[in-house]
Amino acid sequence: MTGTAIIACGALARELKAVIAASGLEGLSLRCLPAILHNRPERIPEAVRAAVRQARATHDRVLVLYGDCGTGGALDAVLAEEGVERIPGPHCYAFLAGEAEFEALMAEEVGSFFLTDYLARHFERLVWRGLGLDRHPELQPMIFGAYRRVVHLAQQPDPEVSAKAAAAAARLGLPLVVRHTGLGALRRFMAA
């Protein structure tokens, strides 16, 4: 057995690959589970457990890069049973922005709809069509009526992603706030 296996959410794949390439971390193996698991968070814990057990067969160490992501603590229970550590934070918004910054953003405006770079890139498919708004636009006020702004947590400078975040905010009829988070939390966790 050699190295460290990282089990991660597919929504972080691009960013994690960038961190691995930039850091020169040796002996890392990355396995990303499908981001679509967020649509059924009750499936995340067992999917992560299966990936952890598979990774243990070939790696000395296994780390998990998932937030709780709506599992209601079930993911942490599985990881405790498996003896595996995960990145701190309830969801990727908190560990990308930093928990203190995320709390400050929520204190500013509790009606914030958050976009990561991944969600900005895939807003049309995951949010608009995923929630059926392409077929039933009358649902938009019910789903997004309590939101007052869109907050793009920009991990990497990318004009295309920035334009998609702006288009998503415009589609929702909400102002856009951009916070440049970088990849620091992912770098720190993987380096540790």
Helix (H) or strand (E) holding 184: helix 184-191
Could you read off the pLDDT tens digit of each residue along the chain, which spans 192 residues? 688 899 999 988 888 888 887 777 667 888 999 988 888 899 999 999 999 999 999 999 999 999 898 899 999 999 999 999 998 888 888 888 888 899 999 999 999 999 999 999 999 998 999 899 999 999 999 999 999 999 999 998 999 999 999 999 999 999 999 999 987 777 777 776
* pLDDT recorded at residue 192: 66
Token readout for 139 is 């649902």
* pLDDT recorded at residue 26: 67
Q: Where are the domains of the chain?
A: 4-86, 93-180
Fold of 4-86: Rossmann fold (3.40.50)
* End-to-end CA gap in the chain: 20
